[in-house]
Structure 1
Amino acid sequence: MSRRGPLPGLRSRLTAASAIAVGACLALTGCGGSGESSGGDSEITFWDSNASASGTPVWQHIISEFQKSNPKIKVKYVSFPIAQAQAKYDTAIASGGTPDVGLMSTSLLANVAGQQALEPLDDRLAGSSLNGKLSPKLLELVKAAGPDGKLYELPQTTNTGILWYRSDWFKEKNVKPPLTWADFYTAADKLTDSGNNRFGFTIRGGAGSIAQILEFAYAQSGISQFWDASGKTTVNAPQNVAAVEKVVALYKKNTPSADVNNDYLKMNAQFDGGSIAMMQHNLGSYVDHQKALKGKFAGTTVPPSPDGSHVLLSSPVGGLSVFKKSKKKDAGWKFAEFVSSKAMSDYWNSKVGQIPANVDSANEAWVKENPTLESAVKVVSDPKTKIVQMPYYLPEFNAITKADSEPLYQKVLLGQMTVKEFLDQLAGKLNEAQTKYKERKGG
């Protein structure tokens, strides 16, 4: 699951959601899974909030397997794209038409759980066969993303940033793979041949850009905390400013000029189409690269920081949540538990190429068959690896890092704003949101 989904202010969001609740609920098949479905107690409604052509068959298989093991429970599958997830959940909460169980992400969790829409799962996990089988790091991240430290999502998967590169180009030009930051910048320059429409790197300047530039900033600076000792964000620390300046300097020199509008799809199309030597994304794009460039590409986690340790941003953790208004919480939990079991963890994560939350899956053959994934699992699990925990718990976080800041980053790329001005503005909004959060929490 990648970092997505704007979170507008809670009050305005609920007002808008209430106004459109009835119409949206009627438009969305499966609304009213909290007790109004025709299957009675034997039927639960599951919302897949990250629908895709490749993902839907995976969920259909998991549901089929679940129903074989639990013939008395029918699962009604409802899907919609991730871009609609926040609005769909907000509308359902406002109208009282939430599902029984839904696909959740830590990037959405603060808002949805903050509306008191989800059931805490701590006690259920404590009494489950899954207890002790899920990554402690991911459980910690899920609890930290919620409003009160409770477990509102059963983790299933996570992601991490990857630097994908054309291994065949590197070999042709006798250039070192980008395993260090020095190697990365050298390769970006040496593999650029703009006359032949070849560029060393592609910058994500459009939708989704902020998470990626911050990933590069913290990985290069080595700063491992999002908030400093005084409670202020480290986003605009001098080391991060210098790191972003290095990346921005690549724009139009070692990247296409059109990159200022790049979202994931455009960036991915350029790399798979054969005009880009390196791109920054995450494990989720492995399947696309494998189809287009099998045997001609490789991937590595972002290079280590100056002290040799890896500093990674906390990628959103995906999993299932049980909704508080569901009249079938036991059945919803049973499905969530099944999804995070080893067998289904193996199946789902092997299909999408992501890091399983179930620790028993980490050493399976399907992990070893994907060298990039195997390396990522080792780096994420390494005790020396430092993870910068992004403040997904802030209701304003996604709005600040998307709608508010993406246009400013584009101004930076176009030379209309300095990196320091951009990061100072971003930091100011984050500090303000953190102050409000602490006030609401009473400290």
Structure 2
Amino acid sequence: MTLSLKSTTALGLALSLLSAPAFAGMDEARAFLDDEIGDQSALSREEQEAEMQWFIDAAQPFAGMDIRVVSETITTHEYEAKVLAPAFSAITGIRITHDLIGEGDVVEKLQTQMQSGQNIYDAYVNDSDLIGTHWRYQQVRNLTDWMASEGADVTNPGLDLDDFIGTQFTTAPDGKLYQLPDQQFANLYWFRYDWFNDEKNKADFNAEYGYDLGVPVNWSAYEDIAEFFTGRDLSHMGIDDKIFGNMDYGKKDPSLGWRYTDAWMSMAGMGDKGEPNGLPVDEWGIRVNDNSQPVGACMARGGAANSPAAVYAVEKAVDWLQNYSPPSAMGMTFSEAGPVPGQGNIAQQMFLYTTFVAPLVDSPAVMNEDGTPKWRLAPSPHGAYWEDGMKVGYQDVGSWTLMKSTPEDRAKAAWLYAQFVTSKTVDVKKSHVGLTFVRESSIQHDSFTERAPKLGGLVEFYRSPARTQWSPTGTNVPDYPKLAQLWWQNIGDAMSGAKTAQEALDSLCGDMESVMERLERAGIQGDIGPAMNDEQDAEYWLSQPGSPKPRLDNEEEEPVTVSYDELIASWQ
């Protein structure tokens, strides 16, 4: 199968037609299907042409419009911007400019549009982490009502919302869909399968630690494995590089906040049980009442962001980063650290955002000559405070969002593009390029059964029921843009050593509560906005069931590992 962006002739054809005075329609659609899609589609060729004809007809009132959309820069969105946007423009006559910028910049643009009412972009691909924000502020079009009313004439009858695997993350407590998933990726444990299966490595590990080298189930085992591999001589495997047992990043940058809000605290066991998010205390440490109103983030108000479990989570991350990671990792951001495992000197990573699987399969240092990986993906281990019934990881669900401040005709044209790039016609091919699945029909496509052995467990994970235990930020967070920036600023102080973990988290939860108190006073989120608890002695809350949890007498659990092959068999 051909997956390179450079391989398509449809792109060249589309670009040549962008300056045409009118769209040419079905001829361009057929050329696109021939040259770009082929048999990598959940639809038959007849069904593909029927879907393209629907887009052509629905787009006629908007032909000649210039529409601007924006997303973060990842492989999936590069494919949309470079291939699918020009193709859509050629087929429909709606000229699409798909901008690619940093994720933090996407949130900033969206926040500016919310505050100013100025239409900066006609549609955004922004994370479903903002679902609590969108539901409370009511500044985005609620898609459930939109598709049934103003947007009915531009809603694809073949959209098939039931085929999307992430709509539970983009649906608010009111039962309405606010965002349409466009790409979805998890954070999973990543490790060098070849190193873990080497007989000398296995014997040496067992001799030193007294148990088998395998996929770590808990953080104690992860730490032992990190220690074992850091600085280990692997010359018997033909490897001369300096080896590290952990990879992470620590630069004081907006992406540092994601490192923690993206379920790190939940994996440690900070929050409560519940799927898709802990209730009443979530993985941000924010507590809500029975009306889904945020009531606190510090222990004094029943939150957990400065609880013993949270301190444990940060201290472990700092320790592992300092002792078992490349020295440069402390100064890296999310995007800089992501490709490092592909360089071939990392033994394991607590979680790898699977958006980086796409570039990994092009990294010779970690791939065999037959195209199979030297690495594998597995569930991330959990910390000492974790309990059965809690979420075990994070999924990023970048989703199409239509602001109410966007004029209706522009929103309709942008909605057509959003549906085109998520359509059954194109989604299998897009999934092969970016490996960010959003449709069940794509995950189950025969081409992924064929390709699965080359993706290190990614397909098996997405075909398993286990994937429901990985989820994005939920609705406890009342204003993601305002609160997210507090995380990297405060956690950065702990990473640098400017503050202890406890001091940084005390500051973080206090800052979050200050924002929530302002929202409560302003009353702009109505009866679903914050309604802060009165402060009490933290011991009152620590003595209650659930989160926040009192400090464990021993945070070092008995280490546990599991055979990777047995784990995969359990998924199937």
TM-score range for the pair, normalised by the shorter chain length? 0.7 to 0.9
- Residue of 215, 221, 229 corresponding to 1:183: 221
1:311 pairs with one of 383, 387, 391:
391
- 8 Å contact kept, 2:128–2:170: yes
- Aligned match for 1:335, one of 417, 423, 430: 417
CA-to-partner distance for each residue in 1:45-95, whole Å, 9 max, x for gaps? Answer: 132322457743444432355457xx4442322313125324444566748
Match status 1:399 vs 2:485:
yes
How large is the RMSD of aligned CA atoms in angstroms?
Answer: 3.6
8 A contact 1:157–1:318 mirrored in 2: yes
Is the Cα contact below 8 Å between 1:110 and 1:394 reproduced in 2? yes
The letter for the 1-side match of 2:287 is D
SS at match of 1:396: helix
TM superposition score normalised by structure 1: 0.75
Residue 286 of structure 1: how far off its partner (Å): 0.5
Q: Is the 8 A contact 2:226 2:348 kept in 1?
A: yes
Give CA deviations for 1:277-333 in whole Å, capped at 9, x if unaligned. Answer: 122331111012211122222222322565455624554421223343243433332
Q: Distance in 1 between matches of 2:259 and 2:517?
A: 25
Matching residue within 265, 270, 294 for 1:217: 265
Deviation at 1:381, TM superposition (A): 5.5
Match of 1:164 in 2: 190
Once the two structures are superposed, the pairs formed by residues 189-204 of structure 1 within 5 Å of their partners are 189-193=227-231, 197-204=242-249
Partner of 1:374: 459
* Conservation of the 8 A alpha-carbon contact between 1:179 and 1:303: yes
Residues 163-312 of structure 1 mapped to structure 2, 5 A cutoff: 163-172=189-198, 173-174=201-202, 175-193=213-231, 197-206=242-251, 207=253, 208-214=255-261, 215-221=263-269, 223-224=271-272, 225=278, 226=282, 227-228=286-287, 231-233=295-297, 234-279=304-349, 280-292=351-363, 293-294=366-367, 295-304=373-382, 306-308=386-388, 311-312=391-392
Amino acid at match of 1:185: E
Q: CA deviation at 1:377?
A: 2.2
Return the alpha-carbon distance in structure 1 between the equivalents of residues 125 and 446 of structure 2. Answer: 27
SS in 1 for 2:493: helix
Equivalent AA in structure 2 for residue 335 of structure 1:
Y
- For residues 375-390 of structure 1, the aligned pairs below 5 Å read 375-378=460-463, 389=474
Supply the AA of the counterpart residue of 1:284. T
d(CA) in 1 for partners of 2:468, 2:69: 35
CA distance in 2 between partners of 1:103 and 1:242 (Å): 34
Cα distance in structure 2, aligned partners of 1:252 and 1:328: 50
How far does the alpha carbon of each residue in 1:160-195 deviate from its partner, in whole angstroms, 9 at most, with x for none? 212222222222322313344343222111111178
2:106 and 2:126 in contact (8 A); partners too: no
Change (3 A) 1:219 1:388: farther
User: Counterparts of 1:17-96 in structure 2 under 5 Å?
Assistant: 41-42=62-63, 43-51=65-73, 55-64=77-86, 66=88, 71-82=91-102, 83-89=104-110, 94=116, 96=118
- Is this contact kept in 1: 2:194–2:374, CA < 8 A? yes
Q: Which residue of 2 aligns with 1:362?
A: 443
Paired AA for residue 377 in structure 2 = G
Structure 2 unpaired stretches of 5+: 1-59, 203-212, 234-240, 273-277, 290-294, 298-303, 368-372, 528-572
Structure 1 residues without counterparts, runs of 5 or longer: 1-38
The residue aligned with 1:35 is none
Equivalent pair of 1:46/1:99 in contact (CA under 8 Å)? yes
**Contact 2:70/2:106 (CA < 8 Å) preserved in 1?**
no
Contact 2:68 2:98 in 1 (8 A): yes
Correspondence for 1:103? 125
Mapped contact 1:313–1:388 kept (Cα < 8 A): no
**Do 2:185 and 2:437's aligned partners in 1 also have CA atoms closer than 8 Å?**
yes
Give, as a single letter, the amino acid of the residue that structure 1 aligns with 2:442: S
SS in 2 for 1:347: helix
Letter in 2 for 1:212: R
Residue identity matched to 2:259: Q
- Corresponding position of 1:120: 142
> Structure 1: how far apart are the matches of 2:437 and 2:222?
24
Q: Distance in 2 between matches of 1:269 and 1:371?
A: 16
Give runs of ≥4 in structure 1 deviating > 6 Å: 109-116, 384-387
Please tell me whether the aligned partners of residues 494 and 500 of structure 2 are also in contact (alpha carbons under 8 angstroms): no
Give the secondary structure class of the aligned counterpart of 1:45. Answer: strand
The one-letter amino acid of 2:511's match is: K
1:141 aligns with 2:169: yes
1:201-246 deviation per Cα after TM superposition (whole angstroms, max 9, x unaligned): 0231113223324533311326342233663332223223223333
Following the alignment from structure 1 to structure 2, what is the Cα–Cα distance between the partners of residues 312 and 318?
20
Aligned partner of 1:420 in structure 2 is 502
Aligned pair in 2 of structure 1 residues 41, 124: CA closer, same or farther (>3 Å)? Answer: same
- Report Cα offsets for 1:353-410 as digits up to 9, x if no partner: 1231x333332245542343224425676566677626264441221123x2242132
Instruction: Please say if residues 100 and 327 of structure 1, whose CA atoms lie closer than 8 Å, have aligned partners that are also in contact.
Output: no
CA contact (8 A) 2:134 2:178 kept: no
Query: How many residue pairs end up in the alignment?
Result: 395
